[in-house]
Structure 1
Amino acid sequence: MNIKSSINSFLTIFLSCVFYLMSTSTLKAQVYQQTAQKSDFWEKVRFGGGLGLNFGNNFTNINIAPSAIYQVNEYFAAGIGLTGSYVKQKNYYDSYLYGASLITLFNPLPEIQLSAELEQLRVNNTYTQFTPKIEDDFWNTALFLGAGYHLQNITIGVRYNVLFKERNNVYSEAFMPFVRVYF
């Protein structure tokens, strides 16, 4: 699979999900107006995710990670997320990552949030500093266990990838700080 088709696949999946979420919201509004009854399910769905942009001297890193969770009760939530990333170090490498994750959140106390996230990524790395260039394409599975301080819609904490493998060139460390926001 070449890089252009990987990008096109990621964009197709990402845009399909965005249009699905938008059409679902529109349909929900129409049904609500017609029946004048609230759907308990949609009252408990929260949306969030992450967006990252890093630019430097011959370096670019762009991340998009939308997600949605269902708040089962005041203690437990579960949901799904999508991830897309592009990283380029000029004259060294290009990297495209895209995938999905399953997310669970547990609040034993209102201020404490524990999390588990199973993530499956397709990784397409091209090392351009070599002649000929080297392409390294593979699937990577990560299982993040985390803990954070939770205040209203925001959680700040740290998570640990129990399946971390340094040789995969996906994540530089097993421990990662995070900021999680759901509305």
Structure 2
Amino acid sequence: MELDHLAITCASLEDGAAWAESRLGVPLEPGGQHAHFGTHNRLLSLGPGLYLEVIAPDPEAPDPGRPRWFALDEAREPALGNWIARVPDHAQALAEAPPEAGQPLDLTRGDLAWTVAVPPDGSLPWGAAFPTLIQWRAGGHPAERLPDRGVRLLALEVGHPRAPRLRELLAGLRDPRVTVVTSDSPTLRARLSTLHGEVSL
């Protein structure tokens, strides 16, 4: 299990991108559309193998006929709303994950192809404390295609009332940037370095 990307969720992609750009001091790159869920995104490199995504419902897309992923049907103001971990064997990782992790879906965007776990109701596993599991299948990795704007992840703090159990579930994630802490409710906090200093999301 490796940290793959962070997701800023919001009701409007324009608002979310402006919110992120104002804090990080760099432009985001065009992403694309996800027809299966009626969403679209913009992206930012966080260095090799890692990126930041701003994602929102796409007002130009047809109703997907199912709840959108990342709890985007409930999204309002831009916020760090989810984190995603990549795995080498999605079926095995999902078998070892809590049942709330969701069901596997094979998706594509352009020449990118991946398998991702999404709960049928579009909710976030453990309130986003447990990561969305992804396996990239074709087209490489999005971070490889993004220009380097000098932004890096320094730390990701994941809070949950059942922190000890969450640490057990994340035993395969050996990333010193990620820490699990006890909190009254699920929380995500990221600390990033930029050309203009440190920023918290």
Q: TM-score range by the shorter chain?
A: under 0.3
TM-score (norm. length: structure 1) = 0.27
Work out which structure has the larger RCO, using CA pairs closer than 8 Å and 6 or more positions apart in sequence: 2
- Structure number with the higher strand fraction is 1
Question: Max radius of gyration: which structure?
Answer: 1
TM-score (norm. length: structure 2) = 0.25
